[in-house]
Amino acid sequence: MRAGNGTKPWGEVATLIMAALADADRHGYAIVAAVREMSNGSVELGTGTLYGALERLLDARCVSAGGDEVVDGRLRRYYHLTDHGRGVLDDELTRAEALAAAARLRLAGGA
């Protein structure tokens, strides 16, 4: 996606990051931990992947960067899911649910 041209920044990673931010603002490592927890340990976000996806979400204004804090000499920046981001996440989950329902129907019909 190019900044501001309206193309969607999705992929599974972007959706997972938005989901991780849905209930609270989180910093980078907290997002990694939340995604790990949500996926029962099956998805481990790499640091590069995380920040690549965050940049796309920031450009699309789905996520905004909040306050910084320094903990044990490490810089933490908190990210917030915007209202636009919530709408986008909702649409994406609805689409995924519809897709899953259609797939289940086909699976049941084929059995």
Residue ranges binding another protein (CB under 8 A): 1-4, 27-29, 32, 46-52, 55-56, 72, 74-77
Query: Closest CB to another protein among 54 and 89?
Result: 54
Q: How far apart are CA 50 and CA 29, in angstroms?
A: 9
Nearer to another protein, 5 or 40 (CB): 5
| Min dist. Cβ of residue 39 to another protein (A) | 16
As a whole number of angstroms, the distance between CA 98 and CA 38 comes to 20
CA dist., res. 93 & res. 81, Å (int): 15
- Report the candidate in 20, 51, 48 with the shortest Cα–Cα distance to residue 33: 20
CB 16, min distance to another protein, A: 15
